[in-house]
Amino acid sequence: MPTLLRMPAVAANESDTLLSSWLVESGGSFTAGQAIAVVETEKAAADVEADADGVLVRTLVAAGTNVEVGDPIALLAEVGETVSDIEAALVELGVTSGAAPEASAPTPPTPPAPTTAPLAVAAAVAHEVVPAAHSARVFASPIARRLAKAAGLSVESLNGTGPGGRIVRRDVEAAIAAPPTASVASAVATTTAAASFVDIPHTRMRRIIATRLQSSKQTIPHFYLHSSCRVDALLAARAELNEHSGVKVSINDFVIKAMAWAHQQVPAMNVVWGDDAIRQFASVDMSVAIAIDGGLVTPVLRSVETLGLTQIAAAVQAFAARAKSGHLLPDEMSGGSITITNLGMFGVEEFAAIINPPQAAILAVGAVTREPVVNGEAVEIESVMRFVLSVDHRPVDGVIAAAWMQAFGKAIEHPILLAS
């Protein structure tokens, strides 16, 4: 029995999602875990993976179309299954001309007059938009398409070196690094002389980031707590741990663990604001801000209180690698009550961040600096880190946030507490 592939709920609070590209064409087979399509979330591209082996009988939506969550985007069949009447199968599955999403691609040639209900027209049009075998189809990874667009390159003009000739990041970077021809160089020189600026069109990711952060500042009553902690003990513990561990632990991993420890000590911080209630969580789920080309993603680390430092390090490293290649999963992009963002690697000593809704807080982490510190009657030079906690005042009062900051500082300055 054929089944429908429906647009997944990629991110919280989004009613529709952009179907960026198909990775399997109509009539093509796929295996369990293989990416069938690429969709754009609010901050990144994500793969839609197959649950089991099968065949993509027909795509119902063209690449580049915004689709309502839950709407059908393709008809699937089991391996070896024959679907003799596709239109009848769609009708049996409840797909009507009014239910199927419309493609926002260029109008295809007029199909032959249908011999059945209007559904046949809609299905034929969708089928023509994404043919079963199109010799001009170019496959490219999401990050390759983003890089090419930013550089003003057409992926159709590039040579792919990925699996099956797919265009990948290195292909775009090679094209960008290649010296321009004389005519291109002349055109660039002319353009540079004629204009002192360039307009970079907004990407969908950039627009959504702007919208969400603007809404955050306008609708969430932020307040901020600043703190500094001595981290010499933490640095020593990290050095000793890395000496005996196969997974290298960063300062950021210690900070993540300390945040989870503070959430356990002050559970009133582990909340989000809702229309009818404050929701308090039993486990500590935390977003980690990761910069990618053209934006920022915040995958969620689950049950951080149960993870050791090396487990946190391995998970964050895996997030970073998959974020940069555009392979984060949809369910990894939602949830959590707090985010960590770190600009210390750029030498930024202190900054305040905007809350990632619907979370209740975000911790901004600065660089380690060597500073004079008063210890009793003596002044000593110690390693210091500064932190700024941005808090949503609706579910969290100042005294709660202050108690959390105190617990967090205790864990940072006494990292032995994080060993349990």
With respect to residue 83, please indicate whether it lies within any of the assigned structural domains: yes
Range of the domain at 299: 222-419
What is the signed CA dihedral for 301, 304, 310, 315, rounded to 10 degrees? -10
Average pLDDT of span 194-212? 84
Structure-block tokens of residue 203: 């990407």
Residue 199 lies in a domain: no
Crossing angle for the helix pair 251-265 and 232-244, to the nearest 10 degrees: 110
Final residue belonging to a domain, choices 176, 194, 212: 194
Tens-place pLDDT, residues 334-356: 899 999 999 999 999 999 999 99
For residue range 290-327, what is the model confidence (pLDDT) as tens digits?
998 888 899 999 999 999 999 999 999 999 999 988 88
* Helix, strand or coil, per DSSP, at residue 60: coil
Residues 119 and 185 placed together within one structural domain of the fold: no
How far apart CA 28 and CA 6 sit, in angstroms, is 18
Which pLDDT belongs to residue 357?
Answer: 92
Q: Is 263 a catalytic residue?
A: no
158 and 116 assigned to the same domain: no
What CATH number corresponds to the domain at position 349? 3.30.559.10
pLDDT at 59: 92
Look up the pTM and report it: 0.62
What pLDDT does 12 receive?
58
**How far apart are the C-alpha atoms of 105 and 130, rounded to whole Å?**
10
Q: Is the pLDDT reported for residue 115 higher than 80?
A: no
Of 210-214, 226-230, 261-265, the least confident: 210-214
Q: How far apart are CA 223 and CA 58, in angstroms?
A: 52
Grade residue 48 by pLDDT with cuts at 50, 70 and 90: confident
DSSP 296-320: EE-PEEP-GGG--HHHHHHHHHHHH
How far apart CA 77 and CA 3 sit, in angstroms, is 6
- The sign of the torsion formed by the CA atoms of 130, 134, 139, 145 equals negative
Q: Which one of 106, 129, 152 terminates a domain?
A: 129
- The answer to whether residue 217 is domain-embedded is no
In a domain, 136, yes or no: no
- Same domain? 67 vs 100: yes
77 DSSP β-pair partners: 55
Residue 158 or 261, more confident: 261
For the residues 182-190, what does the mean pLDDT come to? 50
The amino acid at 171: D
pLDDT reported for residue 386: 97
Question: Are residues 158 and 107 part of one domain?
Answer: no
| Torsion sign (Cα): 109, 112, 117, 120 | negative
Read off the amino acid at residue 181: T
Shared-domain flag, residues 349 and 401: yes
pLDDT of residue 46: 77
Query: What integer pLDDT is reported at residue 180 of this predicted model?
Result: 54
Domain count, the chain: 3
Any domain includes 407: yes
Last residue of a domain, one of 129, 160, 180: 129
Q: Are 254 and 310 in contact (CB under 8 A)?
A: no
How close are the terminal C-alpha atoms of the chain, in Å? 52
Per-residue DSSP letters for 150-165?
A: HHT--GGGSPP-SGGG
Is pLDDT of 240 > 50?
yes
Q: What is the CATH number of the domain that holds 152?
A: 4.10.320.10
Helix (H, G, I), strand (E, B) or coil at 116: coil
Q: What is the pLDDT of residues 251-270, one digit of tens each?
A: 999 999 999 999 999 999 99
Q: Is residue 137 part of a domain?
A: no
Do 262 and 315 lie in one domain? The reply is: yes
> 211 — alpha (psi -120 to 50), left (phi > 0) or beta?
alpha
pLDDT at 338: 98
Kindly tell me if the per-residue pLDDT of 74 is higher than 80. yes
**Average pLDDT over every residue of 154-174:** 76
The answer to whether residues 255 and 403 belong to one domain is yes
- Can you give 3-24 as a three-state secondary structure string? EEEECCCCCCCCCEEEEEEECC
Q: Is residue 207 part of a domain?
A: no
| Catalytic residue (one of 222, 263, 393, 414) | 393
In a domain, 209, yes or no: no
pLDDT at 329 over 90: no
DSSP 326-371: T---GGGGS--SEEEEE-GGGT---------TTBSEEEEEEEEEEE
- Looking at the structure, do residues 261 and 286 belong to the same domain, yes or no? yes
Residue 158 sits in the same domain as residue 108: no
Q: Please indicate, yes or no, whether residues 235 and 343 belong to a single structural domain of this protein.
A: yes
Report the CATH number that the domain containing residue 54 is assigned in CATH.
2.40.50.100
Query: Which is more confidently placed, 302 or 109?
Result: 302
pLDDT of residue 273: 95
Amino acid at 251: I
In a shared domain, residues 238 and 317: yes
Residue 1 confidence class, pLDDT cut points 50, 70, 90: confident
184 shares its domain with 316: no
SS3 category, 42: coil
Q: Is the peptide bond before 267 cis (omega within 30 degrees of 0)?
A: no
* Region of 376 on the Ramachandran plot (φ > 0 left; ψ -120 to 50 alpha; else beta): left
